């Protein structure tokens, strides 16, 4: 791994006056995605508010710890990419967790999470051997798929966050979302140095304040949240290990490992750092360890957040210590539920306006990677085109493969996984031996 060059921007220590706002910018970009899994689970399983609040704090705590492990690594151990990687709970775990929790056994959800983390930790070294199947053709395609598949999320946020598909939007939502987008672009264009690098943060804060004055924020949760909370292991009792729960979470972790591979390659492209087999294995081990810690501290599996790659791309700040500061902030927020509830009040149209910039920049990174590919080769054109189309298949219809066995459907209904599998398979078909010609 290339983490010994202190001169590289990834290893740069920035002044605290830069590190704190830049780290906070990363936090705000990730916050909605970090809390969405516990909120959806709470709604689906009918959890009481006190329990939901506690699990939200546990998720923030676990995300912070997992992020620190990725950014800083563990001395003497091949764990952690030592790249600016934000970790959080992926929405891919929601369906299996709902199925496990439907029986009312919360401890089985944590038991399955721990087993999934152990599997990820154990398989990381073997999984990294597959990296030769990710030449620029596959890497660029997967990164493009990541960005494009996230765009409907930004549109959903712009439309008020009420769900995907056709949604009526109010003039206030349109004005706030597109106004935030315009502000971010203007700050990026005309802001000087520090201000331009924090354009997303400016958009989130300004949009949040504007949304509050427009009556689009609900601060009731701030009043009811406690001032302080300490995440404790086994708060709901010792984890239980059922065959069904462990099997479901193992399959889910395998899916997220495919997705994470694409994310690590994207981060490597943005940061101009090689993600070789050792670094990929170290990253997956960190995800496995973070997921185990999450299960012990009443949280769920952690993976790399794609939207934060966009923040790095837009800001141009690649320091892993900035994102390590984000990890510390997540832990502090987990100890202060009132502050966490306050941050949660950023209106979804504001997130959407920023999301268009972030997710579009990820897709642009993939296209930039594809510039190294020979598109005079018809096989390369078909590999990229069909893989992107396959991913859009489940973006447009998220349950397209529901007629297949559930274990298979859960894998194929993830656009990033489907795009990655398609790109690897077609590249082997047209080029052989895992290399693009």
Buried b (16+ CB within 10 A) or exposed e, 315-338: bebbbbbbbbbbbebbbebbbbbb
Residue carrying structure tokens 């009443």: 298
Query: What DSSP designation does 227 have?
Result: S
Say if 2 falls within a structural domain: no
Token pair for 315 = 């800001």
The mean pLDDT of 8-23, rounded to a whole number, is 89
pLDDT at 1 over 50: no
For residues 163 and 67, which has the higher predicted lDDT (pLDDT)?
A: 67
Asked if the structure places residue 331 within a domain, the reply is yes
- 3 belongs to a structural domain: no
Q: Is residue 1 part of a domain?
A: no
Q: Which of 89-103, 116-130, 358-372 has the lowest mean pLDDT?
A: 89-103
351 within some domain: yes
228 close to 336: Cβ distance less than 8 angstroms: yes
Is the confidence at residue 437, as pLDDT, over 60? no
State how far the Cα of 50 lies from the Cα of 115, in Å rounded to an integer.
Answer: 27
Q: Measured between alpha carbons, how far is residue 264 from residues 267, 272, 410 in Å?
A: 5, 12, 22
Euclidean distance between CA atoms 322 and 307, whole angstroms: 16
Q: Considering the domain boundaries, does residue 436 fall inside one?
A: no
Q: Pick the residue with more confidence: 255 or 180?
A: 180
Number of domains in the chain: 1
pLDDT > 90? residue 384: yes
d(CA 27, CA 30): 5
pLDDT digits (tens, 9 = 90+) for 196-240: 777 777 887 888 888 888 888 766 666 666 777 778 888 888 999
214 inside domain: yes
Q: How confident is the model at residue 381 (pLDDT cuts 50, 70, 90)?
A: very high
Q: At residue 352, does pLDDT exceed 50?
A: yes
88 forms bridges with which residues in the sheet? 303
HEC states along 262-320? HHHHHHHHHHCCCCCHHHHHHHHHHHHHHHHHHHHCCCCCEEECHHHHHHHHHHCCCCH
Higher pLDDT, 323 or 40: 323
- 101-105, 286-290, 356-360: range with lowest mean pLDDT: 101-105
pLDDT greater than 50 at residue 26: yes
Q: What is the mean pLDDT of the chain?
A: 83
Ranges of beta strands (E only) in 90-157 are: none
pLDDT of 140 strictly over 90: no
Maximal CA-CA distance, the chain: 61
Helix (H, G, I), strand (E, B) or coil at 214: coil
**Is 437 a member of any domain?**
no
Q: How many Å apart are CA 67 and CA 302, to the nearest integer?
A: 9
Percent of the chain with pLDDT over 70: 88
- pLDDT(262) > 90: no
Q: Among residues 350, 360, 361, which one has the least CA distance to residue 151?
A: 360
Considering only residues 303 and 193, tell me which one the structure prediction assigns the higher pLDDT.
Answer: 303
Domain span at residue 182 reads: 9-431
- Give the pLDDT confidence score for residue 413 in this predicted structure: 75
What pLDDT is stored for residue 122 in this prediction?
Answer: 93
The residue written with tokens 């656009």 in the block is 415
Residue 350 has pLDDT above 50, yes or no: yes
* Residue 91 DSSP code: G
pLDDT at 6: 67
In a 3-state reduction of DSSP, which class is residue 160? coil
Each residue of 53-89: pLDDT tens digit? 788 888 889 999 999 999 999 999 999 999 999 998 8
**Contact present, 123 and 311 (Cβ < 8 Å):** no
**DSSP class of residue 77?**
B
Instruction: State which of 40-54, 82-96, 173-187, 199-213 shows the largest mean pLDDT.
Output: 173-187
């Amino acid at each position: 791994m290339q983490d010994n060059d202190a001169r590289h921007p990834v290893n740069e220590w920035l002044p605290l006056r830069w590190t704190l706002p830049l780290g906070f910018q990363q936090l705000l970009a990730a916050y909605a995605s970090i809390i969405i899994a516990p909120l959806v689970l709470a709604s689906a399983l009918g959890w009481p508010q006190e329990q939901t609040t506690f699990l939200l704090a546990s998720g923030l705590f676990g995300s912070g710890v997992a992020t620190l492990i990725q950014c800083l690594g563990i001395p003497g151990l091949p764990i952690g990419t030592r790249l600016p990687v934000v970790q959080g709970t992926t929405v891919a775990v929601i369906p299996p967790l709902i199925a496990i929790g439907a029986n009312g056994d919360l401890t089985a959800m944590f038991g399955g999470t721990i087993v999934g983390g152990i599997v990820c930790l154990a398989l990381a070294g073997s999984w990294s051997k597959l990296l030769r199947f990710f030449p620029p053709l596959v890497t660029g395609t997967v990164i493009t798929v990541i960005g494009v598949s996230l765009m409907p999320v930004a549109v959903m946020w712009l439309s008020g966050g009420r769900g995907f598909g056709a949604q009526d939007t109010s003039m206030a939502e349109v004005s706030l979302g597109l106004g935030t987008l315009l502000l971010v672009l203007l700050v990026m264009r005309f802001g000087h140095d520090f201000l331009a690098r924090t354009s997303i943060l400016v958009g989130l804060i300004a949009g949040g304040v504007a949304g509050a004055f427009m009556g689009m924020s609900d601060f009731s949760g701030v009043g009811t949240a406690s001032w302080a909370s300490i995440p404790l292991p086994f708060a709901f009792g010792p984890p239980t290990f059922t065959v069904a729960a462990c099997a479901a979470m193992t399959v889910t972790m395998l899916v997220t490992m495919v997705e994470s591979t694409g994310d690590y390659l994207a981060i490597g492209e943005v940061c101009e750092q090689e993600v070789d087999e050792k670094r990929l294995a170290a990253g997956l081990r960190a995800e496995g360890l973070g997921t185990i810690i999450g299960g012990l501290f009443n949280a769920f599996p952690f993976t790399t957040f794609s939207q934060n790659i966009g923040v790095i791309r837009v800001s141009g700040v690649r320091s892993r210590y900035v994102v390590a500061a984000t990890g510390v902030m997540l832990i502090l927020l987990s100890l202060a539920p009132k502050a966490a509830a306050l941050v949660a009040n950023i209106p979804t149209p504001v997130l959407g306006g920023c999301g268009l910039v972030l997710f579009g920049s990820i897709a642009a990174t993939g296209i930039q990677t594809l510039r190294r590919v020979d598109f005079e080769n018809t096989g390369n054109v078909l590999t990229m085109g069909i893989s992107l189309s396959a991913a859009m298949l489940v973006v447009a219809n998220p349950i397209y493969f529901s007629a297949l066995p559930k274990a298979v459907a859960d894998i194929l209904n993830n656009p990033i996984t489907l795009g990655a599998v398609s790109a690897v398979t077609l590249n082997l078909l047209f080029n052989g031996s895992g290399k693009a010609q």
